[in-house]
Structure 1
Protein backbone atom coordinates (compact mmCIF):
# COMPACT_ATOMS: atom_id res chain seq x y z
CA UNK A 1 0.00 0.00 0.00
CA UNK A 2 1.20 3.52 -0.76
CA UNK A 3 0.73 6.62 1.35
CA UNK A 4 -1.00 9.49 -0.44
CA UNK A 5 -0.96 13.26 -0.27
CA UNK A 6 -4.20 14.34 1.38
CA UNK A 7 -4.13 17.77 -0.24
CA UNK A 8 -4.23 16.28 -3.73
CA UNK A 9 -6.96 13.86 -2.68
CA UNK A 10 -9.04 16.73 -1.31
CA UNK A 11 -9.05 18.43 -4.72
CA UNK A 12 -9.87 15.12 -6.42
CA UNK A 13 -12.89 14.47 -4.23
CA UNK A 14 -13.96 18.12 -4.30
CA UNK A 15 -14.31 17.98 -8.09
CA UNK A 16 -15.41 14.38 -8.51
CA UNK A 17 -18.40 13.61 -10.73
CA UNK A 18 -21.44 11.50 -10.05
CA UNK A 19 -21.57 7.80 -10.74
CA UNK A 20 -25.16 7.17 -9.72
CA UNK A 21 -28.46 9.01 -10.09
CA UNK A 22 -31.73 7.81 -8.61
CA UNK A 23 -35.15 9.26 -7.90
CA UNK A 24 -35.39 6.96 -4.90
CA UNK A 25 -32.72 9.05 -3.17
CA UNK A 26 -34.47 12.37 -3.65
CA UNK A 27 -35.15 14.65 -0.72
CA UNK A 28 -38.86 15.46 -0.70
CA UNK A 29 -38.14 19.05 0.32
CA UNK A 30 -35.54 19.67 -2.37
CA UNK A 31 -35.95 20.98 -5.91
CA UNK A 32 -33.28 18.61 -7.15
CA UNK A 33 -32.88 14.91 -7.66
CA UNK A 34 -30.31 13.49 -5.27
CA UNK A 35 -27.65 10.94 -6.14
CA UNK A 36 -26.30 8.32 -3.82
CA UNK A 37 -23.98 10.97 -2.49
CA UNK A 38 -24.47 14.28 -4.31
CA UNK A 39 -27.15 16.54 -5.78
CA UNK A 40 -27.83 15.68 -9.42
CA UNK A 41 -30.22 16.68 -12.22
CA UNK A 42 -33.05 19.22 -11.74
CA UNK A 43 -36.58 17.94 -11.40
CA UNK A 44 -38.73 18.68 -14.40
CA UNK A 45 -36.09 17.95 -17.02
CA UNK A 46 -37.62 15.87 -19.78
CA UNK A 47 -36.61 14.41 -23.10
CA UNK A 48 -37.22 11.43 -25.35
CA UNK A 49 -34.62 9.35 -27.13
CA UNK A 50 -34.78 5.87 -28.65
CA UNK A 51 -38.27 5.34 -27.28
CA UNK A 52 -37.32 6.15 -23.67
CA UNK A 53 -39.22 8.86 -21.86
CA UNK A 54 -37.02 10.46 -19.21
CA UNK A 55 -38.77 12.95 -16.93
CA UNK A 56 -37.61 14.53 -13.69
CA UNK A 57 -34.06 13.24 -13.72
CA UNK A 58 -34.11 9.53 -14.51
CA UNK A 59 -37.71 8.38 -14.40
CA UNK A 60 -38.03 5.78 -17.14
CA UNK A 61 -41.53 5.34 -18.48
CA UNK A 62 -42.79 2.43 -20.57
CA UNK A 63 -39.30 0.97 -20.91
CA UNK A 64 -39.31 -1.99 -18.54
CA UNK A 65 -40.77 -3.17 -15.27
CA UNK A 66 -38.80 -2.05 -12.25
CA UNK A 67 -38.14 -4.69 -9.57
CA UNK A 68 -39.81 -4.35 -6.17
CA UNK A 69 -38.44 -1.58 -3.95
CA UNK A 70 -35.57 -2.62 -1.69
CA UNK A 71 -34.94 -1.28 1.84
CA UNK A 72 -32.18 0.96 0.44
CA UNK A 73 -34.80 2.68 -1.73
CA UNK A 74 -37.02 3.59 1.22
CA UNK A 75 -37.86 7.28 1.52
CA UNK A 76 -35.08 9.31 3.14
CA UNK A 77 -37.49 10.69 5.74
CA UNK A 78 -38.18 7.17 7.01
CA UNK A 79 -34.49 6.24 6.96
CA UNK A 80 -33.59 9.36 8.90
CA UNK A 81 -36.25 8.71 11.54
CA UNK A 82 -34.88 5.22 12.16
CA UNK A 83 -31.26 6.41 12.29
CA UNK A 84 -32.15 9.09 14.82
CA UNK A 85 -34.32 6.67 16.79
CA UNK A 86 -31.45 4.16 16.98
CA UNK A 87 -29.12 6.98 18.07
CA UNK A 88 -26.78 6.64 15.12
CA UNK A 89 -24.28 9.41 15.77
CA UNK A 90 -22.42 11.49 13.20
CA UNK A 91 -18.74 12.28 13.83
CA UNK A 92 -16.37 14.57 11.96
CA UNK A 93 -13.15 13.38 10.34
CA UNK A 94 -10.83 14.18 13.26
CA UNK A 95 -13.13 12.47 15.76
CA UNK A 96 -13.41 9.43 13.47
CA UNK A 97 -9.62 9.21 13.26
CA UNK A 98 -9.34 9.41 17.06
CA UNK A 99 -12.00 6.73 17.58
CA UNK A 100 -10.30 4.43 15.08
CA UNK A 101 -6.91 4.94 16.69
CA UNK A 102 -7.87 4.88 20.38
CA UNK A 103 -11.15 2.98 20.66
CA UNK A 104 -10.89 0.18 18.08
CA UNK A 105 -13.54 1.58 15.77
CA UNK A 106 -13.73 0.08 12.28
CA UNK A 107 -14.08 2.41 9.30
CA UNK A 108 -16.40 0.84 6.72
CA UNK A 109 -15.79 2.53 3.36
CA UNK A 110 -18.82 1.93 1.13
CA UNK A 111 -17.41 3.58 -2.00
CA UNK A 112 -17.01 1.60 -5.23
CA UNK A 113 -14.01 -0.70 -5.10
CA UNK A 114 -12.07 1.32 -7.69
CA UNK A 115 -12.42 4.53 -5.65
CA UNK A 116 -11.43 2.71 -2.47
CA UNK A 117 -8.24 1.45 -4.12
CA UNK A 118 -7.32 4.98 -5.17
CA UNK A 119 -7.47 6.33 -1.61
CA UNK A 120 -8.87 5.40 1.79
CA UNK A 121 -8.10 5.72 5.51
CA UNK A 122 -5.51 3.17 6.67
CA UNK A 123 -7.17 0.02 7.97
CA UNK A 124 -10.55 0.80 6.41
CA UNK A 125 -12.67 -2.10 5.17
CA UNK A 126 -14.36 -1.75 1.79
CA UNK A 127 -17.79 -3.11 0.95
CA UNK A 128 -19.36 -1.16 -1.90
CA UNK A 129 -23.03 -0.36 -1.42
CA UNK A 130 -23.44 0.33 -5.15
CA UNK A 131 -21.76 -1.59 -7.96
CA UNK A 132 -21.64 -1.39 -11.74
CA UNK A 133 -24.82 -2.69 -13.37
CA UNK A 134 -24.17 -6.36 -14.10
CA UNK A 135 -27.27 -7.92 -15.65
CA UNK A 136 -28.92 -7.42 -19.04
CA UNK A 137 -32.62 -7.65 -18.22
CA UNK A 138 -35.00 -5.20 -19.93
CA UNK A 139 -34.90 -3.03 -16.80
CA UNK A 140 -31.08 -3.06 -16.70
CA UNK A 141 -30.87 -2.14 -20.39
CA UNK A 142 -33.29 0.74 -19.80
CA UNK A 143 -31.19 1.99 -16.90
CA UNK A 144 -28.00 1.77 -18.96
CA UNK A 145 -29.69 3.82 -21.68
CA UNK A 146 -30.84 6.41 -19.16
CA UNK A 147 -27.35 6.76 -17.69
CA UNK A 148 -25.89 7.01 -21.21
CA UNK A 149 -28.35 9.80 -22.03
CA UNK A 150 -26.53 11.92 -19.44
CA UNK A 151 -23.11 10.81 -20.65
CA UNK A 152 -22.58 8.26 -17.86
CA UNK A 153 -21.39 4.95 -19.29
CA UNK A 154 -20.66 3.20 -16.00
CA UNK A 155 -24.07 3.29 -14.32
CA UNK A 156 -24.43 1.68 -10.92
CA UNK A 157 -27.00 -0.33 -9.02
CA UNK A 158 -27.52 -1.38 -5.42
CA UNK A 159 -25.18 -4.17 -4.36
CA UNK A 160 -27.52 -7.04 -3.35
CA UNK A 161 -24.68 -8.72 -1.43
CA UNK A 162 -23.85 -5.68 0.69
CA UNK A 163 -25.07 -6.95 4.07
CA UNK A 164 -23.81 -10.48 3.44
CA UNK A 165 -20.35 -9.10 2.62
CA UNK A 166 -20.30 -6.85 5.69
CA UNK A 167 -21.33 -9.75 7.93
CA UNK A 168 -18.46 -11.85 6.57
CA UNK A 169 -15.95 -9.14 7.52
CA UNK A 170 -17.32 -7.29 10.56
CA UNK A 171 -18.98 -8.70 13.67
CA UNK A 172 -22.36 -7.23 14.63
CA UNK A 173 -20.98 -6.13 18.00
CA UNK A 174 -18.20 -4.09 16.36
CA UNK A 175 -18.08 -0.30 16.57
CA UNK A 176 -18.42 0.93 12.99
CA UNK A 177 -17.97 4.33 11.33
CA UNK A 178 -19.59 4.26 7.87
CA UNK A 179 -17.94 6.48 5.26
CA UNK A 180 -18.48 7.51 1.64
CA UNK A 181 -17.01 10.36 -0.40
CA UNK A 182 -19.44 13.19 0.48
CA UNK A 183 -20.97 11.89 3.70
CA UNK A 184 -24.35 13.58 3.69
CA UNK A 185 -25.91 14.73 6.95
CA UNK A 186 -28.86 14.12 9.25
CA UNK A 187 -28.71 17.72 10.48
CA UNK A 188 -31.47 20.00 9.19
CA UNK A 189 -30.61 23.18 7.32
CA UNK A 190 -32.50 25.88 5.44
CA UNK A 191 -31.95 24.16 2.09
CA UNK A 192 -32.33 20.63 3.45
CA UNK A 193 -34.81 20.61 6.37
CA UNK A 194 -34.35 16.86 6.81
CA UNK A 195 -30.63 16.73 6.12
CA UNK A 196 -29.20 15.18 2.97
CA UNK A 197 -28.98 11.51 2.11
CA UNK A 198 -25.73 9.80 1.11
CA UNK A 199 -24.34 6.37 0.40
CA UNK A 200 -22.92 6.12 3.91
CA UNK A 201 -26.26 7.03 5.52
CA UNK A 202 -28.06 4.47 3.35
CA UNK A 203 -25.47 1.90 4.43
CA UNK A 204 -25.89 2.87 8.10
CA UNK A 205 -29.64 2.39 7.72
CA UNK A 206 -29.16 -1.10 6.27
CA UNK A 207 -26.72 -2.04 9.04
CA UNK A 208 -29.16 -0.96 11.76
CA UNK A 209 -31.98 -2.88 10.07
CA UNK A 210 -29.81 -6.00 10.11
CA UNK A 211 -28.83 -5.98 13.76
CA UNK A 212 -25.70 -3.82 13.99
CA UNK A 213 -25.92 -1.83 17.21
CA UNK A 214 -22.82 0.41 17.27
CA UNK A 215 -23.10 2.35 14.03
CA UNK A 216 -21.62 5.81 13.49
CA UNK A 217 -21.55 8.01 10.40
CA UNK A 218 -18.69 10.09 8.97
CA UNK A 219 -20.08 13.63 8.66
CA UNK A 220 -18.62 15.37 5.61
CA UNK A 221 -17.34 12.07 4.28
CA UNK A 222 -13.88 11.25 3.01
CA UNK A 223 -13.90 14.62 1.28
CA UNK A 224 -13.33 16.16 4.72
CA UNK A 225 -10.96 13.37 5.81
CA UNK A 226 -8.56 14.31 3.01
CA UNK A 227 -9.19 18.03 3.49
CA UNK A 228 -8.07 17.68 7.12
CA UNK A 229 -4.84 16.06 5.87
CA UNK A 230 -5.49 12.86 7.83
CA UNK A 231 -3.58 9.66 6.93
CA UNK A 232 -4.55 7.83 3.75
CA UNK A 233 -3.24 5.02 1.60
CA UNK A 234 -3.84 3.40 -1.77
CA UNK A 235 -3.72 -0.12 -3.16
CA UNK A 236 -1.53 -0.70 -6.19
Structure 2
Protein backbone atom coordinates (compact mmCIF):
# COMPACT_ATOMS: atom_id res chain seq x y z
CA UNK A 1 0.00 0.00 0.00
CA UNK A 2 1.46 3.36 -1.03
CA UNK A 3 1.66 6.15 1.53
CA UNK A 4 0.19 9.50 0.58
CA UNK A 5 2.54 12.32 1.53
CA UNK A 6 0.88 15.67 2.18
CA UNK A 7 2.61 19.02 1.90
CA UNK A 8 2.15 21.34 4.87
CA UNK A 9 3.34 24.87 5.48
CA UNK A 10 3.78 24.92 9.26
CA UNK A 11 7.52 24.30 8.91
CA UNK A 12 7.78 27.76 7.34
CA UNK A 13 6.31 29.62 10.29
CA UNK A 14 9.61 30.58 11.93
CA UNK A 15 11.52 32.03 9.00
CA UNK A 16 8.41 33.24 7.13
CA UNK A 17 7.29 35.38 10.07
CA UNK A 18 10.73 36.95 10.44
CA UNK A 19 11.13 37.47 6.68
CA UNK A 20 7.74 39.10 6.17
CA UNK A 21 8.12 41.26 9.26
CA UNK A 22 11.60 42.37 8.21
CA UNK A 23 10.74 43.18 4.60
CA UNK A 24 7.49 44.89 5.56
CA UNK A 25 9.20 47.07 8.17
CA UNK A 26 12.02 47.84 5.77
CA UNK A 27 9.67 49.15 3.09
CA UNK A 28 7.22 50.92 5.40
CA UNK A 29 9.68 52.60 7.76
CA UNK A 30 12.15 53.68 5.08
CA UNK A 31 9.50 54.85 2.62
CA UNK A 32 7.68 56.71 5.41
CA UNK A 33 10.92 58.33 6.55
CA UNK A 34 11.78 59.38 3.01
CA UNK A 35 8.30 60.73 2.32
CA UNK A 36 8.25 62.61 5.62
CA UNK A 37 11.66 64.21 5.02
CA UNK A 38 10.75 65.03 1.41
CA UNK A 39 7.50 66.67 2.55
CA UNK A 40 9.55 69.00 4.76
CA UNK A 41 11.26 70.31 1.59
CA UNK A 42 14.67 68.94 2.54
CA UNK A 43 17.50 68.80 0.00
CA UNK A 44 17.78 65.67 -2.14
CA UNK A 45 21.10 64.61 -0.61
CA UNK A 46 19.59 64.93 2.88
CA UNK A 47 16.70 62.69 1.88
CA UNK A 48 19.11 60.06 0.53
CA UNK A 49 21.23 60.28 3.68
CA UNK A 50 18.16 59.88 5.88
CA UNK A 51 17.12 56.83 3.88
CA UNK A 52 20.54 55.19 4.19
CA UNK A 53 20.65 55.90 7.92
CA UNK A 54 17.16 54.45 8.28
CA UNK A 55 18.20 51.30 6.42
CA UNK A 56 21.28 50.66 8.58
CA UNK A 57 19.64 51.56 11.88
CA UNK A 58 16.48 49.62 11.05
CA UNK A 59 18.32 46.46 10.01
CA UNK A 60 20.37 46.46 13.21
CA UNK A 61 17.29 47.22 15.30
CA UNK A 62 15.36 44.37 13.70
CA UNK A 63 18.24 41.95 14.22
CA UNK A 64 18.69 42.93 17.86
CA UNK A 65 14.97 42.96 18.57
CA UNK A 66 14.34 39.57 17.00
CA UNK A 67 17.36 38.03 18.70
CA UNK A 68 16.37 39.28 22.16
CA UNK A 69 12.72 38.38 21.69
CA UNK A 70 13.28 34.90 20.31
CA UNK A 71 16.09 34.25 22.81
CA UNK A 72 13.62 34.95 25.60
CA UNK A 73 11.27 32.43 24.05
CA UNK A 74 14.11 29.91 23.78
CA UNK A 75 15.06 30.47 27.43
CA UNK A 76 11.47 29.84 28.49
CA UNK A 77 11.31 26.66 26.42
CA UNK A 78 14.57 25.38 27.91
CA UNK A 79 13.40 26.16 31.44
CA UNK A 80 10.16 24.26 30.84
CA UNK A 81 12.03 21.30 29.36
CA UNK A 82 14.44 21.25 32.29
CA UNK A 83 11.55 21.17 34.74
CA UNK A 84 9.79 18.46 32.74
CA UNK A 85 12.95 16.36 32.62
CA UNK A 86 13.23 16.62 36.41
CA UNK A 87 9.59 15.61 36.91
CA UNK A 88 10.03 12.62 34.62
CA UNK A 89 13.04 11.47 36.61
CA UNK A 90 11.27 11.87 39.96
CA UNK A 91 7.88 10.35 39.11
CA UNK A 92 7.55 8.91 35.65
CA UNK A 93 4.31 7.08 36.47
CA UNK A 94 2.54 10.29 37.45
CA UNK A 95 3.79 11.97 34.29
CA UNK A 96 2.43 9.09 32.23
CA UNK A 97 -0.98 9.51 33.84
CA UNK A 98 -0.81 13.22 33.13
CA UNK A 99 -0.05 12.53 29.48
CA UNK A 100 -2.90 10.01 29.26
CA UNK A 101 -5.29 12.59 30.73
CA UNK A 102 -4.33 14.99 27.94
CA UNK A 103 -5.21 12.37 25.33
CA UNK A 104 -8.51 11.64 27.04
CA UNK A 105 -9.37 15.35 26.91
CA UNK A 106 -8.72 15.21 23.18
CA UNK A 107 -11.21 12.39 22.68
CA UNK A 108 -9.39 9.10 23.22
CA UNK A 109 -10.86 6.28 25.25
CA UNK A 110 -9.15 6.13 28.70
CA UNK A 111 -7.75 2.64 28.08
CA UNK A 112 -6.41 3.61 24.67
CA UNK A 113 -5.04 6.88 26.10
CA UNK A 114 -3.08 4.90 28.70
CA UNK A 115 -1.66 2.63 26.02
CA UNK A 116 -0.68 5.56 23.78
CA UNK A 117 0.90 7.42 26.68
CA UNK A 118 2.87 4.33 27.73
CA UNK A 119 4.20 3.65 24.24
CA UNK A 120 5.13 7.27 23.62
CA UNK A 121 6.83 7.49 27.01
CA UNK A 122 8.85 4.38 26.19
CA UNK A 123 9.86 5.84 22.84
CA UNK A 124 10.64 9.45 23.88
CA UNK A 125 9.19 10.58 27.18
CA UNK A 126 10.53 14.11 27.11
CA UNK A 127 9.59 14.60 23.46
CA UNK A 128 6.03 13.44 24.11
CA UNK A 129 5.57 15.82 27.04
CA UNK A 130 7.26 18.68 25.21
CA UNK A 131 4.91 18.30 22.27
CA UNK A 132 1.62 17.40 23.95
CA UNK A 133 1.88 19.06 27.36
CA UNK A 134 4.09 22.10 26.70
CA UNK A 135 3.24 22.69 23.04
CA UNK A 136 6.89 22.72 21.97
CA UNK A 137 7.49 21.15 18.56
CA UNK A 138 10.30 21.05 16.04
CA UNK A 139 8.46 23.40 13.65
CA UNK A 140 7.85 26.03 16.32
CA UNK A 141 11.14 25.83 18.22
CA UNK A 142 12.70 29.23 18.84
CA UNK A 143 15.80 29.91 16.71
CA UNK A 144 17.21 33.33 17.73
CA UNK A 145 20.10 33.54 15.25
CA UNK A 146 17.95 32.48 12.31
CA UNK A 147 15.28 35.02 13.24
CA UNK A 148 17.84 37.81 13.71
CA UNK A 149 19.66 37.21 10.42
CA UNK A 150 16.45 36.75 8.45
CA UNK A 151 14.94 39.96 9.82
CA UNK A 152 18.09 42.02 9.24
CA UNK A 153 18.59 40.84 5.66
CA UNK A 154 14.96 41.16 4.63
CA UNK A 155 14.68 44.57 6.28
CA UNK A 156 17.71 45.77 4.32
CA UNK A 157 16.28 44.41 1.07
CA UNK A 158 12.90 45.98 1.77
CA UNK A 159 14.46 49.32 2.70
CA UNK A 160 16.65 49.31 -0.40
CA UNK A 161 13.62 49.32 -2.69
CA UNK A 162 12.25 52.80 -1.85
CA UNK A 163 15.81 54.06 -1.38
CA UNK A 164 16.68 53.17 -4.97
CA UNK A 165 13.62 55.10 -6.15
CA UNK A 166 14.90 58.17 -4.27
CA UNK A 167 18.33 57.96 -5.86
CA UNK A 168 16.96 58.12 -9.39
CA UNK A 169 13.68 60.03 -8.93
CA UNK A 170 13.47 63.77 -9.68
CA UNK A 171 12.71 66.00 -6.69
CA UNK A 172 9.41 67.18 -8.15
CA UNK A 173 7.91 63.68 -8.33
CA UNK A 174 9.82 62.08 -5.47
CA UNK A 175 6.95 61.74 -2.99
CA UNK A 176 4.51 60.35 -5.56
CA UNK A 177 7.03 57.90 -7.02
CA UNK A 178 8.27 56.62 -3.65
CA UNK A 179 4.75 56.25 -2.28
CA UNK A 180 3.40 54.50 -5.38
CA UNK A 181 6.37 52.18 -5.76
CA UNK A 182 6.38 51.33 -2.06
CA UNK A 183 2.68 50.46 -2.10
CA UNK A 184 3.32 48.25 -5.11
CA UNK A 185 6.19 46.53 -3.28
CA UNK A 186 4.03 46.06 -0.19
CA UNK A 187 1.18 44.61 -2.23
CA UNK A 188 3.52 42.12 -3.88
CA UNK A 189 5.04 41.26 -0.50
CA UNK A 190 1.60 40.65 0.98
CA UNK A 191 0.66 38.41 -1.94
CA UNK A 192 3.92 36.45 -1.69
CA UNK A 193 3.60 36.00 2.07
CA UNK A 194 -0.03 34.90 1.77
CA UNK A 195 0.81 32.45 -1.00
CA UNK A 196 3.75 30.98 0.93
CA UNK A 197 1.59 30.57 4.01
CA UNK A 198 -1.41 29.20 2.13
CA UNK A 199 -3.66 32.14 3.05
CA UNK A 200 -5.91 34.34 0.90
CA UNK A 201 -3.78 36.41 -1.48
CA UNK A 202 -6.15 39.39 -1.77
CA UNK A 203 -6.61 39.69 1.97
CA UNK A 204 -2.87 39.39 2.60
CA UNK A 205 -2.04 42.04 0.02
CA UNK A 206 -4.69 44.47 1.26
CA UNK A 207 -3.74 44.46 4.93
CA UNK A 208 -0.05 45.02 4.18
CA UNK A 209 -0.73 47.82 1.69
CA UNK A 210 -3.30 49.49 3.96
CA UNK A 211 -0.99 49.88 6.93
CA UNK A 212 1.85 50.98 4.67
CA UNK A 213 -0.28 53.67 3.09
CA UNK A 214 -1.44 54.86 6.51
CA UNK A 215 2.13 55.07 7.80
CA UNK A 216 3.36 57.04 4.79
CA UNK A 217 0.34 59.34 4.89
CA UNK A 218 0.81 60.20 8.57
CA UNK A 219 4.55 60.71 8.19
CA UNK A 220 4.07 62.95 5.15
CA UNK A 221 1.59 65.02 7.15
CA UNK A 222 4.07 65.43 9.99
CA UNK A 223 6.84 66.42 7.59
CA UNK A 224 4.62 68.92 5.81
CA UNK A 225 3.29 70.53 8.99
CA UNK A 226 6.46 70.70 11.04
CA UNK A 227 9.10 70.84 8.32
CA UNK A 228 10.94 73.99 7.34
CA UNK A 229 11.86 75.13 3.87
CA UNK A 230 15.61 74.93 3.37
Please give the TM-score of this superposition, normalised by the length of structure 1. 0.22
Higher strand share: 1
Please give the TM-score of this superposition, normalised by the length of structure 2. 0.23
Higher helix share: 2
Q: Which has the higher contact order (CA 8 A, sep 6+)?
A: 2
Q: Which structure has the larger Rg?
A: 2
